[in-house]
Structure 1
Amino acid sequence: MLQKLRDKTTGWIAGTILTIVTIPFAFFGVESYMSQRVETYVARIAQPPSWWKSAPQVWPVTYLWHIEDIDAQEFKERLENARINMRNAQGENFDAKAFESVENKRRVLDALIDERLMRMTAHNDGIVVSDAEVADNIRQIPEFQVDGAFNADRYQMLLASQNPPLTPRAFEAKVREDLATNLIPARIARSAFVTDLELDRLMRLLGEHRDVSFVAIPAPAADTAPVTDAEIDAFYKAHKDEYRSPEMVRLEYVEVDGNTLPAPAADEAALRKRYQDEIAKFSSPEKREVSHILVQVAANASEADKKAAEARAAKLAAEARAPGADFAALARANSDDTGSKAAGGDLGWITKGSGMPGAFDDAAFAMQPGEVRGPVKTDFGWHIIKLNQVQPGTQRSFEDVRPELEKELQEGGREQAFNELTGKLVDAVFKNPTSLAPAAKALGLQVQTTPVFSRAGAPGIASEPKVLRAAFSDALVQDGTASDPIELGPLRTVLIRVIEHQPEQVQPLAQVRAAVVASIRAERERKAADAAAEALLKAARTQGLDAAAAAAGLAVARLDDLPRRSPAPVPPQPLVEAFFNVPRPQKDAPVLGKTRAGGQLVVFAVRAARDGDIGQVTPQERAQLRTQVAASIGAQAQDAFIRAVRKHYVIKVAEDRL
């Protein structure tokens, strides 16, 4: 039997079967059959291999494709940043519900996808950013500058203060990646230009003037005709979405305001100890204003070069100490320090231990004002140092700073009391998260309630964006439990619980019947106005606007030489746009039109049109317009490039994860 089994498992047939079975294991591994993978991406970008652009997206060829995912966390962070920016820009007009719409989320995701595509494209095209360009861009970042110049100490301090902290190497890598990602789109945008002929044509168009006559259609008489039940029912069914009540909640909450807690009494011994502990804060070190001339010596310089540099430094030092010597002129002519040479060697004010080389520091703080000392040897070479001014250090007395210390001590005590009370409240609420009353009672705090409110908010804590986000979150609405502490400001926090929830819903007809009837009557009046305007327009096409208006008993207004960019509030801008959106009249035949502006229908006739006089345009206006138009064309070209790039990738969006 064993021999038969062996015979059956040898030969080319068995080998072929074994090869077929082995292929999946070679691609995926045994573990892929033993475990399940949960996809969490919001968008997936797939690209065929560079050596097989037409590779089909079928198994197992898909495993040759390059795949990059935008995960849910990355999208969530970008969405939150967009929410913060929009709220800051719109203030009280920010609509949280509109922001959470699928369309808006998709816009945010599309921007994220475009960034990733540009990064992938830059990598595929082999774009490399030099160290010099990275350094130059970092030096130009205003946050890293002091008095308009890059400051290394500020640079490192700001990076260390990030959450999480950034090392210079990590930040430089991020800058390098951003520069590579934006290189092609930015260059495309900046490559746009406008020819003189195009600019002339545009200026003639923008400076165009038109002669217009128009008739404002009077509002029709108020509709008083009966509205039947059938009309009401039909209108309501066709416009149900207009009669939706927004999602509403009512909260109970407990607020802890540390600013109302009693301040601890000031203890004299504690105040004096705090003064001694923080004495450096109340002192300013001695400052010295120095200038120098540097004779640079390379680390690998020969002995002869070193001696020559020392001799040159000694000669310059002697010249600088000579009576009547101009130290600044010597520095400008001879210093090897490119940073201070143009300023006559001026290094500004320094303090002991502020970063200057040790030997330089020791010499500068051992000199008298006006003294020249050197040569002084450091790792940079030889220095000739001149002390210009001395600003003595100061120290404020205990009596002088006592009010500040007392205030700090009281604020610290109040903060400690606030933290302790908040911690006890949170612990008590978490033991019974379905009610705030027991915890509040135990700590002597008050449970308050809000009126019912929508996502638009309400006075009090319901106007706080953080409270609004939590109040309408699924967790609080569905579970009915208390929230985590919500920080409203320094020493001010609140815990909330949803005690009533009304989902968004269509209001019943009985409740909105009066509003439906009003809408029907308004619709009738609108149609009556449209019919009157259409009748006047039809008559004007055969009789002319003046005759048609006279026959209808309506007045005709005339606007001669109306500029396209009319600064006046009358006529309103929408009406001006309508006048200029119709074609120019040909052979003295007016162009007729109809529009609605400010809720009123207007029938108009454009009688004549004239180009703007480009001779009246100043060179500054011309240059400004050229810049604006080129920027607009560049932005369009950039968008076109990104759309073209998208065609080379397969992009899949997980709509259910937005």
Structure 2
Amino acid sequence: MLQKLRDKTSGWIATVILGLLTVPFAFFGMEQYLFQRNVTYAAKIEAPPTWWPSAPSWWPVRALLWHSEEVDVDDFRNAFEQARQQQRQAMGEQFDPREFESVDNKRKTLDRLIDEKVLSIAAGRAGVAIGDAQVRDAIQAIPAFQVDGKFDAQRYQLALTAQQPPLTPRAFEQRMRDSLQQSLLPTQLAQSAFVTGTETERLLKLLGQKRDVAFTVVPLPAEDTAPVSDAEAQKWYQAHQAEFRAQETVTIEYVDVDGGKLAVNATPSDDDLRKRYDAEQARFVEPEQRLASHILVQVAADADAKAQKAAEDKVKKLDAQARQPGADFAALARANSDDAGSKPNGGDLGWVEKGTMVAPFEAALFAMKAGEISQPVKSEFGWHIIQLREVKTGKQTPFEEARPQLEKEFAESERERSFNEFTAKFYDQVLKNPTALAPAAAAVNLPVQKLGPFGRGQATGVAANPAVLRAAFSETLIQDGTVSDPIEIAPNHNVFLRVVQHAPERAQTLAQVKDKVVAAIRADRRRKAAEAQAEAMIAKVNAGQTLAAVAAEQKLAAQDVPGVPRGAPVPDADATRAYFEAPVPAAGKVSPGKVALPDGSIVVFAVSKVTPGDPKEASEPQRMAMSQQFAQLVGGEDANTLVEALRKRMQVTVAEERL
């Protein structure tokens, strides 16, 4: 038998069959053995070779010829964390970390990283390269690396060191180079967009368009009291189950630690107050002030020698005039000063304290005596002639005058100290028994209060505070049943809470929501009745009747409003939007329509005339601004279209389980 089997499998037919069977195994199984590795990407982007754009995605063609880039999981997590911090900073106390952890937010972050890789691949394939000079200019233009508007190498190094993790200049330069390369194609495309004069004219006509409209408001019918059968209720419930789910709720117990209600001994002794006064005497000194005026002859620090000489000659001439007997310094300043701020007031600068003026000006001013006029003083702004009109010497505020402020500060510090000690004592008791509030509350003689059950949008009282609400619905407190860390809801005001009951979001039976289902069915009946009435009225208008006549049949009032502009609430912004979405009526005809308002009523309207805007009414600056804004919009759309088109030419694989 074995000999017969060997004879049958050793012929040329068997060899051909075996060869044919080898082909699919070579193409569809070998890569599992040849290219085994630990896959860690969040997304993989692959592009066919430029010389074979229609190359198939079969292995080994894809493995050997296609270009591949990956979005690493760590890169995705870092980007997502940055997005989280930005959202937290923007929303403040309203930020909900659980809500942010949605699939949509993760995909938005990943899509942005994928688009960057797509653009990087496209730029490389197009031969786009970023020179060292471009990288240097881009880095030096970043405000975070500048001091007084100029690039500062020391600040640059400190900023890179402060990054998490720290970056070397070479690594940051490479990151900047990659960013410039990725953004070059869409940026240049967006900047190349332009709007023709004809397009601007058309846009102005559209934006300035006005429409003659007649409208009437169809109110909701009277309350529906007709019975709702069990079959109707069951059908509605099955079709709208998501609307009748019970939301997640919690019940909490909490202790309110309010520093404002703590008994504090806030009556300091004279010795305590005097010690504080002596230690902080510098706070109770009124600084010296000088009432000054000046004349400024402005000249830039980098002006040429001719301009510098002209300014110096002018200030010397003004200085001589100011020193003449009976000279009016204020009149001279009003006529000649280049300081637009003080010139109308005769150069008056008001009372000046040390540290408020540039160094040369301040040095000269505080070296003068009352009534003197300084020699010309050079600063970064130009030349100054200073007049010191009056001196108010600094003085020490006596202890008795400072006493009320010292007592107030002492009371505040004592209250804060007592609050911190009280909170620390309470928290120590909590740590001894972290799953109960009552023992710790009893130790400090505070009541344990209870609140709930409540949902995220139903919280009242202390739970309405965003920080408290966030803690109440945190996974840790719900699962562990432990007492929270102190939650600050105001200065010297903390709350400690514990979740005592939690009900997850869940489906409710029809019996539990029967009343809500019946109310929803009756509301839907009213809405459909109003819509049917509105549709019947529109049909009559289309048949040739006027809207006024149709409205009168329904005992409704119709209004004619000529020249309605865009955005006007006639009678509602949504209604006006519908007027402008209606087609332009034919000659002698109207364009009827309807739109539902937030209160459930329906506006039935008829557009009888469309008047284009007049481009001549727009000034030249307005036309230019309109063209620029329109070009920016067009450029942005072009850039987005480019990214979408490039992405369609590539194969993107997303590892959902790693997000």
Partner of 2:419: 418
Partner of 1:467: 468
Contact 2:48 2:66 in 1 (8 A): no
Shift of 1:401: 2.7
Say yes or no: does 1:324 pair with 2:320.
yes
Contact 2:45 2:117 in 1 (8 A): no
Query: Separation in 1 of the partners of 2:401 and 2:165?
Result: 40
Out of 261, 273, 276, the position equivalent to 1:274 is 276
Residue identity in the other structure for 1:527:
K
The 1:44–1:445 alpha-carbon spacing in structure 2 relative to 1, beyond 3 Å, is farther
Partner of 1:526: 527
Query: Separation in 1 of the partners of 2:217 and 2:522?
Result: 21
Shift of 1:490: 1.8
Query: Separation in 1 of the partners of 2:352 and 2:420?
Result: 43
Query: Separation in 2 of the partners of 1:628 and 1:548?
Result: 45
Partner of 1:431: 432
Shift of 1:354: 11
Secondary structure of the structure 2 residue equivalent to 1:438: helix
Shift of 1:207: 2.6
The 1:353–1:526 alpha-carbon spacing in structure 2 relative to 1, beyond 3 Å, is closer
Cα shift readout 1:307-366 (whole Å, capped 9, x = no counterpart): xxxxx99xx99x979983999xxxxxxxxxxxxxxxx9x9x9795999979xx9999977
Aligned ranges 1:450-489 → 2 under 5 Å: 450-489=451-490
Shift of 1:254: 1.8
Cα shift readout 1:458-515 (whole Å, capped 9, x = no counterpart): 2322011111111111111111111122222222222211011121122221121122
The 1:203–1:280 alpha-carbon spacing in structure 2 relative to 1, beyond 3 Å, is same
Query: Separation in 2 of the partners of 1:488 and 1:79?
Result: 22
Moved more, 280-289 or 416-425: 280-289
Moved more, 625-634 or 184-193: 184-193
Partner of 2:508: 507
Partner of 1:575: 575
Shift of 1:190: 5.6
Residue identity in the other structure for 1:126:
I
Query: Separation in 2 of the partners of 1:503 and 1:484?
Result: 23
Aligned ranges 1:200-599 → 2 under 5 Å: 200-214=201-215, 216-217=217-218, 219-220=220-221, 223-261=224-262, 262-283=264-285, 324=320, 370=373, 393-545=394-546, 549=550, 557=558, 559=560, 561-565=562-566, 567=568, 569-598=569-598, 599=600
Contact 2:210 2:563 in 1 (8 A): yes
Shift of 1:450: 1.5
Contact 2:547 2:558 in 1 (8 A): no
Partner of 1:76: 81
The 1:572–1:373 alpha-carbon spacing in structure 2 relative to 1, beyond 3 Å, is closer
Contact 2:44 2:69 in 1 (8 A): no
Percent identity between the two aligned chains? 37
Contact 1:47 1:67 in 2 (8 A): no
Moved more, 95-104 or 594-603: 95-104
Contact 1:594 1:603 in 2 (8 A): yes
Secondary structure of the structure 2 residue equivalent to 1:507: coil
Shift of 1:240: 0.9
Query: Separation in 2 of the partners of 1:140 and 1:391?
Result: 42
Query: Separation in 1 of the partners of 2:356 and 2:213?
Result: 77
Q: RMSD of the TM alignment (CA)?
A: 5.7
Query: Separation in 2 of the partners of 1:398 and 1:625?
Result: 65
Contact 1:540 1:547 in 2 (8 A): no
The 1:550–1:479 alpha-carbon spacing in structure 2 relative to 1, beyond 3 Å, is closer
Query: Separation in 2 of the partners of 1:385 and 1:165?
Result: 49
Moved more, 544-553 or 423-432: 544-553
Query: Separation in 1 of the partners of 2:359 and 2:499?
Result: 61
Shift of 1:451: 2.8
Moved more, 581-590 or 624-633: 624-633
Shift of 1:535: 4.0
Query: Separation in 2 of the partners of 1:356 and 1:629?
Result: 49
Query: Separation in 1 of the partners of 2:502 and 2:239?
Result: 28
Tell me the TM-score normalized by structure 1.
0.67
Shift of 1:252: 1.0
Query: Separation in 1 of the partners of 2:144 and 2:368?
Result: 34
Secondary structure of the structure 2 residue equivalent to 1:450: strand
Secondary structure of the structure 2 residue equivalent to 1:561: strand
Contact 2:213 2:564 in 1 (8 A): no
Contact 1:591 1:607 in 2 (8 A): yes
Cα shift readout 1:75-101 (whole Å, capped 9, x = no counterpart): 23422432552467xx7xx99986665
The 1:122–1:422 alpha-carbon spacing in structure 2 relative to 1, beyond 3 Å, is farther
Query: Separation in 2 of the partners of 1:278 and 1:49?
Result: 74
Query: Separation in 2 of the partners of 1:63 and 1:591?
Result: 55
Secondary structure of the structure 2 residue equivalent to 1:483: coil
Query: Separation in 1 of the partners of 2:162 and 2:355?
Result: 32
Shift of 1:218: 5.9
Say yes or no: does 1:633 pair with 2:637.
no
Residue identity in the other structure for 1:427:
D
Query: Separation in 1 of the partners of 2:538 and 2:301?
Result: 87
Partner of 1:102: 103
Partner of 2:337: none
The 1:177–1:386 alpha-carbon spacing in structure 2 relative to 1, beyond 3 Å, is farther
Partner of 2:130: 126
The 1:113–1:406 alpha-carbon spacing in structure 2 relative to 1, beyond 3 Å, is farther
Contact 1:254 1:447 in 2 (8 A): yes
Partner of 1:5: none
Shift of 1:243: 0.9
Aligned ranges 1:190-209 → 2 under 5 Å: 192-209=193-210
Query: Separation in 2 of the partners of 1:476 and 1:557?
Result: 59
The 1:166–1:508 alpha-carbon spacing in structure 2 relative to 1, beyond 3 Å, is closer
Query: Separation in 2 of the partners of 1:352 and 1:556?
Result: 71
Residue identity in the other structure for 1:585:
P
Partner of 2:335: none
Query: Separation in 1 of the partners of 2:110 and 2:215?
Result: 47
Query: Separation in 1 of the partners of 2:523 and 2:185?
Result: 54
Structure 1 runs not aligned, ≥5 long: 1-23, 298-311, 328-343
Query: Separation in 2 of the partners of 1:96 and 1:444?
Result: 34
The 1:182–1:412 alpha-carbon spacing in structure 2 relative to 1, beyond 3 Å, is farther
Contact 1:283 1:395 in 2 (8 A): yes
Shift of 1:404: 2.6
Paired residue total: 565
Tell me the TM-score normalized by structure 2.
0.67
Cα shift readout 1:524-580 (whole Å, capped 9, x = no counterpart): 33334444444444454445456993896566735253324263x433232222222
Contact 2:209 2:613 in 1 (8 A): yes
Residue identity in the other structure for 1:593:
G
Secondary structure of the structure 1 residue equivalent to 2:453: coil
Query: Separation in 2 of the partners of 1:579 and 1:182?
Result: 41
Query: Separation in 1 of the partners of 2:395 and 2:585?
Result: 81
Moved more, 463-472 or 499-508: 499-508
Partner of 2:15: none
Shift of 1:126: 1.7
